[in-house]
Amino acid sequence: MAEKNKIVAGIKLRSDRPTTLTFHDLFQWVIWQFPRPEQKGLCGAVRPPLTDHDWIPAIIQAGNKRVYVHAHAGETFPTPELAAEYFNEGKKAGQT
């Protein structure tokens, strides 16, 4: 049975693929982007406004104000830099 979607700081995050959100959806979250192209955007991370929550990998498309949150990966990271490395690790393993 597939894992259920989860809600983090009022945002429903998909468990089967990246969650597509707008900058407006994440207005209380921190959006961090690294200047490295990835999947038609820039690799980055987001963090909800919760004291004890780590960073979630994300693809940031600033031009259309969209964020693709990779919560389905099931991993969070203590820094945005480590979260952005998630995309490098996937490529090393042959994933896209």
**Interval 71-91: pLDDT, tens:** 998 999 999 999 999 988 754
Is 68 within a domain? yes
Distance CA 79, CA 83 (A): 6
Which tens digits make up the pLDDT trace of 31-45? 998 888 777 889 999
CA geometry: angle 22, 2, 5, nearest 5 deg: 30
Is 24 within a domain? yes
Cβ–Cβ under 8 Å, residues 54 and 34? no
Domain that holds residue 51: 6-92
Is 15 within a domain? yes
Cβ–Cβ under 8 Å, residues 59 and 84? no
Is 1 within a domain? no
pTM more than 0.95: no
Which tens digits make up the pLDDT trace of 47-70? 999 989 999 999 999 999 999 999
Virtual torsion, Cα 23, 71, 35, 27, nearest 10 deg: 20
Is 11 within a domain? yes
The closest alpha carbon to 70, from 52, 83, 54, 51, belongs to 83
Q: How many domains, the chain?
A: 1
